[in-house]
Structure 1
């Protein structure tokens, strides 16, 4: 959709006199567009130009949610002008996701306070834990285990600002997910190397898949505000994600049901292993820097 410009007669930056066809100043390059307007117009332009908040956005969202792999397939076929670009889509959706993650009450928690956890145990469990602690005191733990235990103890103490720690965890997690996204694409590239497709095609698949997961997890975080205490649907979120990725792979790579499943399993296992290691490292680093 073409941008509606409020053209000036003279460049406010360098004084060049515009012609009617000039969308940018030929002298200094500044855009020929008057920004001295009410805030309402600026917000509308932001949604239009940055987020493509129009029919294009809603069509893209519909295909992303209900047509697994279709956006990637259309990108590969060169049908791109009718949809929000993959990177822009990912950035917008991830911003919403990490905002929800930041305000959600029961996420990114390191653990319960030790006293609170002890209160939830019965007399027998407390005695068993006390005996285990006494045995651990007699047997020296490996150095990495000692350091990890020290970090956990520090997280449970009052020495750590929980708000600062939470902020660091969320910030680092957003960066980690951005790094893991091309990793998932590279795993697909390796497992489908016989198809001789460019890595960019696998990367687009990864971007759309992560965007779907962020939307699904955003809905999950929103539902946690209303679900009764003790009710968790995280397993359902994981199942829906797995089914979505499976059908997306069927559409994009066009291989049989069993062949696709035999590639989904190792790709998912390797990716989830890398994700677990990255998240554990994130917790350790965040604790050390808090």
Structure 2
């Protein structure tokens, strides 16, 4: 609840209705001074999210440890006791991506870890890599060589229109970027666009739920609320593991606390994978066997869809690097 001073003027600034008390009885706006300091705006943002009533911590507790409780409570009409689903998701995603931006992972470590795997994949595609100490460029055929094959080569050696377009884009990227630069640009682009990717995934996630359940009993809206809470849970678990990993990482990789971080990450990952089943079972009220079967099928379908979407995104990001 806001602690701002109440205006002496009893006319609502929003609807011009007479305000006898703190809030306008016509539109609900608080009758306080409209000019605020930055500090007030910042505090008011979190007040608005948590409304200083235990609703925030009550929501977080149920989200983490009581699968589907928030969804059932919200759809039953008990909405003031918890944060609204959209507000909850926006709040958690805001904090998550803010902290990721503030404490990014070491890109050089990530490059070293995945370099061998990338080399293996490039070898399969017959792409040679210059193993120089300072620079590692991908070496494809030049466009001049490819155009020569397209014009004078054998039919089986020529590229179709789609392959030619992709090859041209790949050559453009690899001629102007080292492997490290490609990694850096890709990781930066990925985390920058991850919120958009999640927003794209969620409607499809809810759609798959809609396909597998009684259309007369459940509306798409119900599946949407379930999806918002589920994705909020996934982001929250990721956020907790991220914060713990960064905090305990301050003590060094060889510290005993690194083992604590590893255990927490392991438990968190297991809970993330398992959470969907009890949430599904409790919310939709189906038998454990039916719910388990549907959970597995939905998990596979959504995993394949997410894999497809991420693969498309990787390809799109690669061909648009500069």
Question: TM-score, normalized by length of structure 2?
Answer: 0.68
Deviation at 1:165, TM superposition (A): 4.5
Q: Which structure 2 residues correspond to residues 248-287 of structure 1 after superposition, within 5 A?
A: 248-287=279-318
CA–CA separation in structure 1 for the residues paired with 2:71 and 2:176:
42
Indicate the residue corresponding to 1:66 in structure 2. Answer: 65
Deviation at 1:155, TM superposition (A): 8.8
SS, match of residue 92 in structure 2:
helix
Q: Which structure 2 residues correspond to residues 176-195 of structure 1 after superposition, within 5 A?
A: 176-193=197-214
The aligned length equals 278
Cα distance, 1:255–1:267 mapped onto 2, change above 3 Å: same
Cα distance, 1:256–1:10 mapped onto 2, change above 3 Å: closer
CA–CA separation in structure 2 for the residues paired with 1:19 and 1:105:
49
SS, match of residue 112 in structure 1:
helix
Cα distance, 1:217–1:190 mapped onto 2, change above 3 Å: same
CA–CA separation in structure 2 for the residues paired with 1:154 and 1:224:
37
Cα distance, 1:161–1:7 mapped onto 2, change above 3 Å: farther
Deviation larger for 243-252 or 229-238: 229-238
Cα distance, 1:85–1:5 mapped onto 2, change above 3 Å: farther
CA–CA separation in structure 1 for the residues paired with 2:44 and 2:31:
15
What do you get for the CA RMSD once the two structures are aligned?
A: 4.4
CA–CA separation in structure 2 for the residues paired with 1:108 and 1:201:
40
Deviation larger for 238-247 or 70-79: 238-247
Deviation at 1:262, TM superposition (A): 0.6
Summarize deviations over 1:162-192 as a string: whole Å, max 9, x none. 6665443222211110121121111111111
Deviation larger for 195-204 or 65-74: 195-204
Corresponding position: 1:241 with 2:272: yes
Native 8 Å contact 1:86 1:204 kept in 2: yes
Native 8 Å contact 1:8 1:18 kept in 2: no
Deviation larger for 32-41 or 239-248: 32-41
Cα distance, 1:12–1:284 mapped onto 2, change above 3 Å: same
Larger relative contact order (Cα-Cα within 8 Å, sequence gap ≥ 6): 1
CA–CA separation in structure 2 for the residues paired with 1:5 and 1:21:
12
Native 8 Å contact 1:51 1:88 kept in 2: no
Summarize deviations over 1:101-137 as a string: whole Å, max 9, x none. 33444388997379x947xx9xxx9xxx69x657x98
Cα distance, 1:12–1:87 mapped onto 2, change above 3 Å: closer
Corresponding position: 1:45 with 2:44: yes
Q: Which structure 2 residues correspond to residues 189-208 of structure 1 after superposition, within 5 A?
A: 189-193=210-214, 196-208=217-229
Question: TM-score, normalized by length of structure 1?
Answer: 0.74
CA–CA separation in structure 2 for the residues paired with 1:51 and 1:32:
20
SS, match of residue 244 in structure 1:
helix
CA–CA separation in structure 2 for the residues paired with 1:257 and 1:149:
49
